[in-house]
Structure 1
Amino acid sequence: MPRTKPAAKKTTAKRPARKAAAAAVISAWQDDPLSGLPPIPRPVPNLAKGALKFKIKGTAIPPQVYPGGTPGFRYWTAAEALRRGGDFWAPLLGLSRWQPGAVLGVSLDKGTDLNAYYDRSELAFFHEAVGKTTYYSGESPDVVCHEMGHACLDAHRPQLWDAPFIEAGAFHESFGDMSAILSALQLPSVRAVALKPLKDYKPSPLSRCAEQLGEGIRKVDKPAVDKDCLRNAYNAFKYVDPQTLPDSAPATALSAEVHSFSRVFTGAFYEILSGMLNIRSKAPTDAVLASVATDMAYLLSDATAAAPVQPDYFAQVAAHMVDADTSRFAGKYRAALVATFVKRRILPKTAVQSLAAAPVAKAAPAAVVARAAMARRPTTQFQKVTFNAQAFGLEDKTVIVMAPVERKPFQTAAASLIHQYGGPDKVEQATHRFVKQLFAHDRVDSDSGTRKASITDSTPREQLRKTHVLTKAPGGLKLTRRLFHCGCGRPIGLRFPRATGTESNGEQEAQDQDRSSQTRRPQDAGG
């Protein structure tokens, strides 16, 4: 008997320790559920701490390891992705609060749709049953960190929110995909899988964004997305003036739609990331890849802070990335930046050929570079653009768009070489083209007259996809942005035009064949 009592006390004493250990971790996806990477244990994220705070709406779910496909698993895998992405971007972008305020709300299941959005009040995710599979957009770290990327860029550069230019909207979408990739690289397990393909410039789970959501959309609109994901950063798309592109096109070609056109910049980003890795080392390690990801984020932060918002926004950001590399890293990555941006036709060779061989000074301290980038932010002015609403099947009223236009003095080389303000006519043309593609995709709410939509479980899905709204204003109807969504296929009735030589991307076919040879995990229930 005397021996049994101590044994009982010992067993009882261990139970609280085991319970505490179990509550210290959750299980979460490393990348998209269809990436082929299994869930892993992660520390319990605290969304109320950190420079960027989140609040998941609804009933809180206690932290523990939940089986995949359960509400508890989806809750904590989304929370982990939010905390990881927010902690990555906050110091790099210099953020301490969101555009809506100190805390950003998150709705993990806003209703039925193959969709997700950021609307300056919350991040919202959805579910959709397609056949026997129910897809939850908030279950994918790719989708979560994409939408969070919109919120981060909006807090960093709010002037882009209402910019009525295809390239400004497309860059916002590209930043979302870049955010998903760079946030994923904060996990050692993802870096281990991505290191060799990135060094060799090949596709991988890292380059394939939102495989699960892409699969769901593909089942209902096959040509609208890539064959293995929503959008692949491993692509060969080159810049074409979006004014010349059709309103819509299959995923194998470019169109003026912002998600489609975003792939030009995202493709350049992924190729530059590969080049930066190889510049750093012939045999890069996990630590080198982590460092390169941070360096890339700094380049994006500096460039977007300084690049003026204009119709040719891709070139503005690209040129300022070259200059940011000169200031921050003494031109360490110049070869990769210049070669890729010229190859992708984002920057003309004539604008950077002399710069490529020019010597550079010693890099300035990071804090000095950051302050200089903020100091060089251009001043925003607005140009009023008007046109008749009858062109879009509305009443004989005037549509008013306030287009932000920024000009700035230059203190650095590449930006001054590429900066060419096209004048009011170019701004007006770019604005008209942007609005035309919005109406072509049925993205304008012309009925409610309210800037913020009231979303319920019964809201029709087409209403969920209205990115802009017309509201009453002196002299007509004012067009403003309501939200950014993730790209969810075509509206009913919108047809893809027959491809022409200017719409397709000849190099894409070879890379599609390369991508199709990559192995993927068998499709699962997705939740």
Structure 2
Amino acid sequence: MTVQQQQAIPTVLVYEDDPGFPPKVNMPVPHPVPQLDTQPFPTAIAEAAPQQDGAGPGTEAFRYWVAADSLSRASQTWGPLVPTGTQWNPQVGRVLTAHLNAGDDLNAFYDRRGLWFFRRTVAGVTVAACESNEVVEHETGHAILDALRPQLFNAASAETAALHEAFGDISALLSSLRLESLRIAVLAETQGDIEVSSRVSRMAEQLGWAIRQGHPNAVDPDCLRNLANSFFYRDPVQLLPNGPANTLSSEPHSFSRVFSGAFLKIVAGIFRQQNLQDQAGLAKAAEVAGQLLVDAVVAAPVVSAYYAQVAGHMIAADQRRNGGRYGQSLRSAFIRHGILSLEAAASITEPEVARRGAGIAEATPGGGDDQGLTAVTVQGATYGITQPLTLSAPAQERRFGIAGSDPTGGSVRPADPELVATSFLEDLFRRGRVHVPEDHRSDTAFVDDNTSRLKTHEITRSATGEGLVLVRRCFD
């Protein structure tokens, strides 16, 4: 393309990944005007499109184009990787719509009606979630995974919820690595060691800074979360419901770091296996890792110890697609984070993958919300609720007999579905994340009515009219 042709392409100013860590911020750069109607994941923005006039940071026009660039790039990242025919969850409709000014908060969420981005002024800095590519690409990642595996939306399981959050951060990572400029910058910053902390591993630096002003230990020191970490798997049933950012808890964003940390090491390992460790090699490594993840989440049964099943199916996908070329990188990353025990990683052999191959090959995206889940009913009185409460517990048949590492040696025995579901429910109540309508509360109700805390779940009447059910409102 000639210089004249490049100059003729209409552009808008955007951030490439995040506004950056105040007071130092990243410089906006020109990008081609994004196309939102990208198949198979078309998107839209509720607000009217502004002029392409080069408006800078802090303006509504700039925020619009950053969000549009992010939505477009996330769609372009995942579109080529998903099975043919994949579409948004039916409740979303044909187009996923983003709302850029949803209210006063330091948050964003996906709720099957769209993407919602909030903003707040902190220490004189207006922090708009839609102004961060990483935040927008994270939330779009939730919608992508919901298109692939809608069963995860209402599953009463800390591990499936955490996989959703990990997928969001991975969505931001892979979308960033689509840009040659960022790949070059990361290679320079890390001196080619992709698994160390870098501009693309650090998620949402500005939002993390803003949260830290009021809650100093709630997020990482230099970002919201960092994929460059060493968190080691524990059964979330055994973890505390909350904790400071330097510890691991069952809270889904916290526990997500175990899987996203392993995924960054997978990208790094695949990159080291490329013929050339240059920006093109990094692009290839990101694409390969993303493809294996998509294959795995489509095929992996929804069970307790879900991380291990996804890990096993990534190894199986590599065996089918690449003849096992990247198996060592995959096993190493999952072992280092305890997602697979040593014996589990060794058990996923080529003959074992071949033996399970028919079931894996028949796996398709989508399906009903309750597919693979089992109803677990608990006494409502235990939770200050007037009627019995039904939860959707993960209970599909395991394809691989594998599990995570027990820190004392060997494998963790996966918890039974009822324990997984009730533990998840109790942690939601402990974190004040459940909305319980007044008419479902008993005299001993202990519901947290703090209106500033987003309720990710609610108690509602069963569709059958018998009892109550726990349903998810959103992923934030």
- Band of TM-score, shorter chain: 0.7 to 0.9
Specify the alignment match of 1:398 in structure 2: 388
Q: Give CA-to-partner distance per residue, 1:279-318, whole Å, 9 cap, x none.
A: 224x501111111111011000110011000111100101
Specify the alignment match of 1:339 in structure 2: 332
SS of 1:160's partner is helix
1:307 aligns with 2:311: no
Give the alignment of 1:71-150 within 5 angstroms. Answer: 71-94=60-83, 96-99=86-89, 100-150=92-142
Specify the alignment match of 2:178 in structure 1: 186
1:386 aligns with 2:372: no
Letter in 1 for 2:290: A
Provide the C-alpha distance between the structure 1 equivalents of 2:450 and 2:31, rounded to a whole number of angstroms: 34
Q: Give CA-to-partner distance per residue, 1:435-476, whole Å, 9 cap, x none.
A: 1111111111112789xxxxxxxxx98366111111122332
Q: Give CA-to-partner distance per residue, 1:347-400, whole Å, 9 cap, x none.
A: 1111222557x69999xxxxx9999263599993432212233333x2442211
Specify the alignment match of 2:14 in structure 1: 28
Letter in 2 for 1:113: D
Return 197-206 or 229-238, whichever deviates more. Answer: 197-206
Alpha-carbon contact 2:101-2:117 (below 8 Å) kept: yes
Letter in 2 for 1:87: Q
Alpha-carbon contact 2:45-2:99 (below 8 Å) kept: yes
Specify the alignment match of 1:53 in structure 2: 42
Structure 1 gap ranges (5+): 1-17, 363-367, 451-459, 486-527
Letter in 2 for 1:43: P
Alpha-carbon contact 2:197-2:228 (below 8 Å) kept: yes
1:446 aligns with 2:436: yes
Letter in 2 for 1:344: H
Alpha-carbon contact 2:201-2:226 (below 8 Å) kept: yes
Q: Give CA-to-partner distance per residue, 1:152-185, whole Å, 9 cap, x none.
A: 0000111111111110000000000000000000
Provide the C-alpha distance between the structure 2 equivalents of 1:44 and 1:230, rounded to a whole number of angstroms: 29
Q: Give CA-to-partner distance per residue, 1:383-436, whole Å, 9 cap, x none.
A: 2212233333x244221113242226x5xxxx355599989x710000011011
Change (3 A) 1:406 1:422: farther
Give the alignment of 1:405-484 within 5 angstroms. Answer: 405-407=395-397, 410=399, 415-417=400-402, 426-447=416-437, 462=451, 465-473=454-462, 474-484=465-475
Q: CA deviation at 1:25?
A: 0.5
Q: Give CA-to-partner distance per residue, 1:247-266, whole Å, 9 cap, x none.
A: 11000001111111111101
Change (3 A) 1:463 1:388: farther
Specify the alignment match of 2:154 in structure 1: 162
Specify the alignment match of 1:524 in structure 2: none
Letter in 1 for 2:103: G
Q: CA deviation at 1:477?
A: 1.6
Q: CA deviation at 1:188?
A: 0.7
Alpha-carbon contact 1:449-1:472 (below 8 Å) kept: no
Bigger fraction of residues in helix: 1
Change (3 A) 1:264 1:418: closer
Alpha-carbon contact 1:22-1:64 (below 8 Å) kept: no
Ranked by relative contact order (alpha carbons within 8 Å, sequence separation 6 or more), the top structure is 1
Identity percentage of aligned residues? 38
Q: CA deviation at 1:332?
A: 1.2
Provide the C-alpha distance between the structure 2 equivalents of 1:384 and 1:435, rounded to a whole number of angstroms: 14
Q: Give CA-to-partner distance per residue, 1:194-223, whole Å, 9 cap, x none.
A: 125273232111110010110110001111
Q: Give CA-to-partner distance per residue, 1:47-79, whole Å, 9 cap, x none.
A: 134321112113221223211211111100110
Provide the C-alpha distance between the structure 2 equivalents of 1:170 and 1:51, rounded to a whole number of angstroms: 25
Alpha-carbon contact 2:392-2:421 (below 8 Å) kept: no
Provide the C-alpha distance between the structure 2 equivalents of 1:369 and 1:49, rounded to a whole number of angstroms: 32
Alpha-carbon contact 1:306-1:378 (below 8 Å) kept: no
Provide the C-alpha distance between the structure 2 equivalents of 1:244 and 1:476, rounded to a whole number of angstroms: 29
Q: Give CA-to-partner distance per residue, 1:8-56, whole Å, 9 cap, x none.
A: xxxxxxxxxx9x9688100111111106642211110121343211121
Provide the C-alpha distance between the structure 1 equivalents of 2:259 and 2:175, rounded to a whole number of angstroms: 18
Q: CA deviation at 1:108?
A: 0.5
Letter in 1 for 2:10: A
SS of 2:420's partner is helix
Provide the C-alpha distance between the structure 2 equivalents of 1:143 and 1:132, rounded to a whole number of angstroms: 21
Provide the C-alpha distance between the structure 2 equivalents of 1:230 and 1:146, rounded to a whole number of angstroms: 12
Alpha-carbon contact 1:331-1:360 (below 8 Å) kept: no
Alpha-carbon contact 1:61-1:72 (below 8 Å) kept: yes
Specify the alignment match of 1:268 in structure 2: 262
2:200 equivalent among 199, 206, 229: 206
Return 324-333 or 395-404, whichever deviates more. Answer: 395-404
1:348 aligns with 2:341: yes
Root-mean-square deviation (Å): 3.0
Task: Report how many residues are paired.
Answer: 444
Give the alignment of 1:200-349 within 5 angstroms. Answer: 200=193, 201-281=195-275, 283-349=276-342
Q: CA deviation at 1:237?
A: 0.3
Letter in 2 for 1:205: R
1:172 aligns with 2:164: yes
Alpha-carbon contact 1:326-1:360 (below 8 Å) kept: no
Letter in 2 for 1:298: Q
SS of 2:31's partner is strand
1:65 aligns with 2:54: yes
Q: Give CA-to-partner distance per residue, 1:120-160, whole Å, 9 cap, x none.
A: 01000011111211110010000000000000000011111
Q: TM-score, normalised by structure 2?
A: 0.86
Change (3 A) 1:369 1:65: farther
Q: TM-score, normalised by structure 1?
A: 0.78
